[in-house]
Structure 1
C-alpha cells in the first residue's frame, strides 16, 4: 500500500457556533537513523491518533485499548465463519447445492474483498467512529451532503442493529436445536420459545458490551482464536469421521447441482450469494472502533481487509468439507426438524455423542459474535447520536463515568434489535428479512461514500493505506456495482412462485419503512432534520481548536523545511553530476 504523502483533505466542522477549517496532519515520522524500522512509543502513537481525530472535529473520549490484532479480531469474530455458515446454509444448499456452496462462496468472497479494499482507503484517510456517514459528509457536494449524511447514518444504524438481531436469533435457534437433538427430536421449538431465548441472549450481550474498553479489547483476542479453531476443527472432524455412505466424490463435491427454489439455474446461483454476503459482513465494525484503536489510520483498513480474506479462506474450507461429507440426498437435510442443515450434516457424521460438544462450541462462538456485533453497533449509535440525529440522542450520547463506555448506546442497540425480531413470531420466512436487512443497510451505507469519493476525487486525500490512483478508482467502481447487485438479490424471495404472505421476503418492506421514517423526519415541517441537522458536529473546546491549528502550523513549517532540504540536496546532486561530466 502506498504511503500517505502530502497534507490531507480539508473539511468543515461545526464548533462553538462557527465554521472552523482544519486539515489533518500529514503522517509523522519519529526521529530515527537511516531507513530502518522505526519504533514509536505508545504515547507518541496515542498523541498522533488524538491529533488526527481533532482535525476531524472530535476530541478523544475513549481509551485507545485496541491493538491492530484486536481491531482485526472484532470484524473476524463478528463474521464467525462456522456459525454464520450454519445459520445461512439454508440459502445456498437448496439454491444450487455443491456448485453454489463452493463456487458461489468464492465469487462472493472476491467481490466482498474488493469492497473491503475500497472502504480501507476511506478508513485510513478519515479514521473516526462515525465512519461511513462522516465520509459521506466530507466527500459530497454542499447541496446534498446533509441529506446523504443523514441517509447513510440511518442505513448504517439499521445494518448494525439488524446484524445484532440476526446473530442473536441464530444463537437462539442453535441452542434450541441442541435441545431438540438431546431429546432425540421429541422437543420441537416454537417461534415463541425461540423469541424468549433470543431476548435472554440479547440481554446478556447488552450487559457484556457495557463493561470497560480494555476488557472488551482482550475479549476480541479470545474470540479470534475460538472462531479460527472451530472452523479448522469442523473441517478435520468431517474429513475423518464421516461414514462412507455420506462421502461424496470430487466430481459431486465441486460440480453437483441441486435446485428446489423454483428459480432458473442462474437465478438460484445468484441467490446463493446470500451466504457469503451475510457471513463475510459487518467489516465496517473496525471503523466504528476507530476512536478506540491504536494507530487507527493503519490498523482499521488492515483489520477490514484481512478479516475478509481470513474468513473467506476458512469458509471455503468449511464449504468443501461439507460438500464432500453430506451425501447426495439433500432434501432431508434442508427440511430437517432441527432447522439447521449443518447440524444435520454434523450429526450424520459424528452421531449424537460427538455432535453435542461440537455444537456447544458452535453456540459459544456464535454468542461471542453477537457480543462483538453489539459492541460495534453501540459505537455507531454513539457517533450518530453525538451529532443529534437519532431519537433520544441526548440520552443515548453519554459516556458512563465508571466504565468510560457508551452504556446507553449498547442498550439502545439491544432494544431496537428486540423490536426487529418480533418478525420471528410471524414465521421463519419473515424473520429471514432481518438477515437481509443487515446486508441491504450495509450496502447502502457503503455505496454512497464510495461513489461520493469517486465522483469528487479532489475532496479525497489518501491516508497511509492506499491502493494508488488507478487501482483505487477501479476497485471502487467494481465494489459499488457489487453492492447494488447484492442489495437486489437479498430482496428476492427464496422460493417462487410466492403463493401467500408467508412466502414473501419482508426485507423490502422493513427497509422501506425505515427510510420512510428517516426521510419523513428529515423533511418534517418546522421540526424536521433539515431545519437543524448540520452533519458531523465538533465537540472540541476553544483550547482544543487552537491546539489543532497550532499543530497544523507547526506541521506546515516542518513540511516547508523538509521541502527546502530536499531541493537543496537535489541541487547539490545536479552540481556533482555536472562536475563529473
Structure 2
C-alpha cells in the first residue's frame, strides 16, 4: 500500500464532517474516516463541555501548582500570568477546533496530523505526534493524581500536633500509598461506571462553583490576618526563585499552563459524542472561557488574604496554608478545602477516561508495542477500552516510584505533561499552516483570517513552552530535590518512541486506515 492509496481527497472528509448533523450520522462519518464505531455515543454538547471543564479542574489545577507563580513573581504572576495564558490557550483551542471539525476521531491530533501532512512524511509526522499525545495524556493524568495526593497531605496538615507540626508526616512511602489509592479509585470509577460519567461531570460543574463561592465569601469576610489593598493584589511582583525577574515570571507560567494543558485531550472523546464535528470544537473554546472566569474568581480573593510570601515559598502546597491563615481554625479551613479535593478526584477520573481513549486510538493503528491487546474494547463494561486503561495505570505507577528518589517528581510529571501535550497540539496546526489552511477552510468551524492569528499564537506558545518548562523553579539547584526532571522523563519517552520506530514502525507502520 502506498501513501497515495492511504489518503482520500480531503473534500470527502470535510463533507463528512459537515454532514453529520444532516443525513449522515456521526458513526457514518467515522466509517468514512476509516474506523468502525465501537464506543457508545452518550455525550451531548453540554456533556462534552462539562468533561472538558473537569479535565482542567479549575480551581483544583490552579491550587496544586500555585507554588510556582508564588515563588516566581507573587500576585502579578498568578493573576496576570493566568489571564495571559488563558488568552493564548483560547487560540490553541480555536486552532484545534477548526481541524477537529474536519477530522472528529478519538485519534485526535495524531490522526489529524497524518491526514493533513504530505504523503512523503506523514507517517513519521503522525508517529511523532501520536507518541507526544500519548505521553502527554499519561503524564498529565499522573500529575493530576500525584498532585491530588500532595494536596491531600497539605489539607490534612491544616490540623497540627501540640508541637505545631502537621499530623501527617508525608513520608515518601505514605505519599506513594495514597497515590496508589487515588489512582486505583480513578481507574475503578472510569472502568466500572462509564455510563454514569456524564452525570458525574455535570455534578462537578455545580459542585465547583458552589465551592469557589464558599471560598470567596469566607476568606474575604473573615480575613483573620487582614487584607491587602487592590493595588498590592494586582501590581505586587516579588521574585523568590533566584531567576532574573523577567525570566522568573515566565517560569511561573507553569501554573497556568498546567491548568490549561488538557484543552485538546477532549478530542479523544470524539467517538463518544453525538455530533463531534460541531460539539467538540465549540466545547473546547467555551470551556477555556469559563475556566478563565472561574480561575479569577478563585485566585483573586486568595491574593487579598495572602500571608508572607517568603514563608509560603517553603511550602510545596501553599493553598491550604493560605486558607487556614484567612479562616483562623483548622476545621473551617479543611471544610473549605473539601470541594477542591472532590474536584481533584473527579478530574483524575476524567483524565483517566480520556487517556484510555487516546491509547486505544493509537494502538488500533499498530503504533504501540503489543497493540493487539491495547486496542481491545471490553463490551461487558459498557464498551470501555479497559486494557488501554490498565496500561496507562501501570505506567503511571512505575513513574510514581520516582518520588522515592526525589520529591521533585511532581514537577517532572506536570512539566513533561505540559511539554508533550503542547507539542502534540502544535503539530497538526503547523502542518495545516504549511498547507495554507486549505483543509480547515472546508470545515464547519472555520475561522477565516482570525484562524491564521490563532495558529501563529498557538505555535509561538509551543516554541516558548517546550524549553521553558524544562527549567528548575528555583536556582541555584543545590540538591536533587530542586532539580526539574521533566527533560529526563521527556527524553526517556522519546527514546522509547524512536527505538520502537526503528525496530518495527519504519517497515510496518502505515498510519490510520485512510
Q: Do the structures match in fold with TM over 0.5?
A: yes
Work out the CA distance in 2 between the residues paired with 1:180 and 1:26: 55
Work out the CA distance in 1 between the residues paired with 2:213 and 2:128: 40
Q: 1:263 to 1:20 in 2, by over 3 A?
A: closer
The answer to which of 395-404 and 500-509 deviates more is: 500-509
Report if the CA contact (8 A) 2:4-2:119 is conserved.
no
Per-residue CA shift, 1:471-494, capped at 9, x if unaligned?
112210111011111122111111
Q: 1:131 to 1:219 in 2, by over 3 A?
A: same
CA shift for structure 1 position 509: 1.0
CA shift for structure 1 position 333: 2.1
376, 397, 419: which one pairs with 2:354? 376
Alignment partner, residue 509 of structure 2: 533
- The within-5 A match list for 1:224-373 is 224-243=205-224, 245-327=225-307, 329-336=308-315, 339-350=316-327, 351-373=329-351
Partner-residue secondary structure (3-state), 1:65: coil
CA shift for structure 1 position 27: 6.5
Q: Does 2:404 match 1:425?
A: yes
Report if the CA contact (8 A) 1:68-1:300 is conserved.
yes
Give the CA RMSD over aligned residues: 2.0
Report if the CA contact (8 A) 1:63-1:213 is conserved.
no
Q: 1:12 to 1:240 in 2, by over 3 A?
A: farther
Partner-residue secondary structure (3-state), 2:25: helix
Partner-residue secondary structure (3-state), 2:191: coil
Alignment partner, residue 579 of structure 1: none
Q: Does 2:414 match 1:435?
A: yes
176, 195, 198: which one pairs with 1:217? 198
Work out the CA distance in 2 between the residues paired with 1:248 and 1:460: 48
Q: Does 2:370 match 1:395?
A: no
Q: May I ask how many residue pairs the two structures share in their alignment?
A: 503
Work out the CA distance in 1 between the residues paired with 2:293 and 2:17: 33
Work out the CA distance in 2 between the residues paired with 1:503 and 1:430: 10
Alignment partner, residue 563 of structure 1: none
Larger radius of gyration: 1
Listed as ranges, the gaps of 5+ residues in structure 1 are 1-10, 31-39, 539-581
CA shift for structure 1 position 88: 0.5
Q: Does 2:501 match 1:522?
A: yes
Alignment partner, residue 565 of structure 1: none
Work out the CA distance in 2 between the residues paired with 1:494 and 1:112: 22
Alignment partner, residue 167 of structure 1: 144
Work out the CA distance in 2 between the residues paired with 1:112 and 1:202: 28
CA shift for structure 1 position 62: 1.2
| Alignment TM-score, normalising by the size of structure 1 | 0.83
Q: 1:133 to 1:495 in 2, by over 3 A?
A: same
| Alignment TM-score, normalising by the size of structure 2 | 0.94
388, 395, 405: which one pairs with 1:409? 388
35, 49, 57: which one pairs with 1:72? 49
CA shift for structure 1 position 281: 2.0
Per-residue CA shift, 1:516-574, capped at 9, x if unaligned?
111121123xxx20110011136xxxxxxxxxxxxxxxxxxxxxxxxxxxxxxxxxxxx
Listed as ranges, the gaps of 5+ residues in structure 2 are none
